Amino acid sequence: MNELRDSTSPTRAIQDLSPSDGADAFTELTSEEAVEVAERLEPATLARILAEMHPHSAAALLARVQPPTVSRALAAMRPDDRVDVLEHVPPALHDRVMRDMTPSEAEEVRRLEQYPPESAGGIMTTEVTALHEQLSVDEAIAELRRRRRQEDQVYYVYTVDGDGRLTGVVSMRDLILSDPRAKLATAAREAVAVHAETDQEEVARQLRKHGYLGLPVVDAERRVLGFIAADDVADVAEEEATEDIQKLGGTAALDAPYLSVGFLEMLRKRGGWLSVLFVGEMLTATAMGYFEHEIARAVVLALFVPLIISSGGNSGSQAATIIVRSLAMAELRLRDWWRVLGRELRTSFALGAWLGLFGFTRVVLWQRLGWVDYGPHYVLLGVTVWVSLIGVVSFGSITGSMLPFLLRRLGFDPATSSAPFVATLVDVTGLVIYFGTALILLRGTLL
C-alpha cells in the first residue's frame, strides 16, 4: 500500500503540473524514477512534457522506456516536436518507431526529416490552416469550427488559389472584424512567406521585421507546407546566442545542456579548440627563446611579460566580443570596418596610454618605496613598460575588432574570433612588441 503510494505520487504530482514545470520536474528525478514516471503518465501528458524538454534529454528518456510507451507518446506529439526528438534517438529506436507508425505519420516524419534541422522546413509544424480564397468569411468560420479539434494553434488563416498557391493571410482578428459575407480574398492582406530551405536565423529576422506571430512556409511553387510560430523562433534566437557565446568562450557549440553532454564528447568539444590554441601559443616559447639572450642579461624584463601580454589579450577579447555581437545584431555591416578601425585606433591608444601610466607608476613607486630593486635604470624600465602597453593594447584592439570583419568577409562565422583565439594571437605579437621596445629604449643601459 505504502509502496504503491510512494511510486505513484511523483507521477500524480507531475500530471498536475504545466508541461514546462513537468519537464523541469523530470530533471530532479534519477534516471530509474524518470522511466517509471514516464511509463505511468497519460501519453498526451508525456507528449506535452517531452515537447518542453531539450530534444536531447527527451530522446535520452525515450531510449530507456518501453516501446509501446514510446510509440504512444510520439503519436500524441505535434509533428515538428516529434521530428525534433526523433533526430536525437539512436538509429535502432528510430527505425522501430517508424515501423510502429501509421503509413501517413511515417510519411510525414520522412517529409520533415528531409529538411536540415536549422531550416524553416526543419522547425515548422505541418499544422497550418489554408483555405480557398473564394470562401466567404462566414464559410471560413464554419470550416474553422469544424476543424477545431484537429488544429491546436490557429492564429492565421492562409488563403490559397485553385492550385493551392498562397495568395494572402487573414488574421483571426480580421476574420472577426470583417463583413461575414465578404470573400476571404477581400479580407486578406498580402502574406509574407518563407521557403522551406530558408535558414532559421533568416526566419527569425523576417518575423521580427514584419511583427507577425508566425509565418507560413512554402515550397518553390508557393504551395503552403507548414507554419512557424514566433515562440518557436524565440528559442532559435536563444540557441543562436548560446552558440555565439560558447564560440566566443573558445569552445565548440555544445548543442545540448551541460549535464547531458557525455565525458568524451565534452573532451572533444573543448579539447579541439584548446589544442589549436595551445599549438598557437607554442609560438610564445619560440618568441621567448628568440629573446633568451636579453632575458639572461636583464631578468627584470621577464617579470613584466605576463602583465604585458595579458593586457593585450584582455583588450583584444573586449574588442572582439563587442564587434562579434554588433555584427550578429546587424548593428554593424561589413562596410563599416573602416569606421570601426578609426574608432578603435583612438580608443585603444587612449586605453593603452592609461594602462601604461598605471604600469609606469607601479615600477617607479615600488622602487622608490624600496619594495623591489629594479636597478639604477628603473625609470627607463618603467617607460619601456608604458610604451609597450600602448603598442600591445592598440594591437590587441585592432586585431580583435578587425578579425570578425575578416572572418565574415571570408564566409566564416565571426564568433570564431573568440576571446582565447584573439588572446593567443596577441600574446605572440605582444612579446615581440615588448622586447622590441626594450631593445630600442634600453640599449646601452640594461641591454
Is 190 within 8 Å of 266 (Cβ atoms)?
no
- Give the nearest distance from C-beta 426 to a second copy in angstroms: 10
Is 22 within 8 Å of 52 (Cβ atoms)?
yes
Q: Is 214 helix (H, G, I), strand (E, B) or coil?
A: strand
In the complex with a second copy, which residue's Cβ is closer, 70 or 415?
Answer: 415
- Give the nearest distance from C-beta 359 to a second copy in angstroms: 8
Query: Which helix (H) or strand (E) covers residue 166, if one does?
Result: strand 166-171
In the complex with a second copy, which residue's Cβ is closer, 70 or 277?
Answer: 277
- Give the nearest distance from C-beta 201 to a second copy in angstroms: 12
**DSSP label of 218:** E
* Calpha distance 102→218 (Å, rounded): 25
Strands (E), 172-261: 194-195, 214-218, 224-229
Query: Which helix (H) or strand (E) covers residue 154, if one does?
Result: none
- In the numeric block, the cell 518507431 is attached to 97
In the complex with a second copy, which residue's Cβ is closer, 321 or 399?
Answer: 321
* Calpha distance 88→60 (Å, rounded): 8
- Give the nearest distance from C-beta 159 to a second copy in angstroms: 16
**DSSP label of 216:** E
Cα-Cα end-to-end distance for the chain: 87
- Give the nearest distance from C-beta 440 to a second copy in angstroms: 21
In the complex with a second copy, which residue's Cβ is closer, 55 or 313?
Answer: 313
Is 123 within 8 Å of 219 (Cβ atoms)?
no
**DSSP label of 156:** E
* Calpha distance 217→225 (Å, rounded): 6
In the complex with a second copy, which residue's Cβ is closer, 365 or 440?
Answer: 365
- Give the nearest distance from C-beta 70 to a second copy in angstroms: 24
434 to 361, 365, 379: CA distances (angstroms): 18, 21, 16
Handedness of CA 436, 440, 445, 447 (dihedral sign): positive
- Give the nearest distance from C-beta 442 to a second copy in angstroms: 17
78 to 72, 104, 131: CA distances (angstroms): 12, 14, 21
In the complex with a second copy, which residue's Cβ is closer, 97 or 367?
Answer: 367
In the complex with a second copy, which residue's Cβ is closer, 38 or 381?
Answer: 381
Is 168 within 8 Å of 185 (Cβ atoms)?
yes
In the complex with a second copy, which residue's Cβ is closer, 65 or 172?
Answer: 172
- Give the nearest distance from C-beta 273 to a second copy in angstroms: 7
In the complex with a second copy, which residue's Cβ is closer, 207 or 446?
Answer: 207
* Calpha distance 166→174 (Å, rounded): 18
In the complex with a second copy, which residue's Cβ is closer, 183 or 325?
Answer: 325
Beta bridge partners of 159: 131, 168
- Give the nearest distance from C-beta 191 to a second copy in angstroms: 14
- Give the nearest distance from C-beta 267 to a second copy in angstroms: 6
Is 10 within 8 Å of 34 (Cβ atoms)?
no
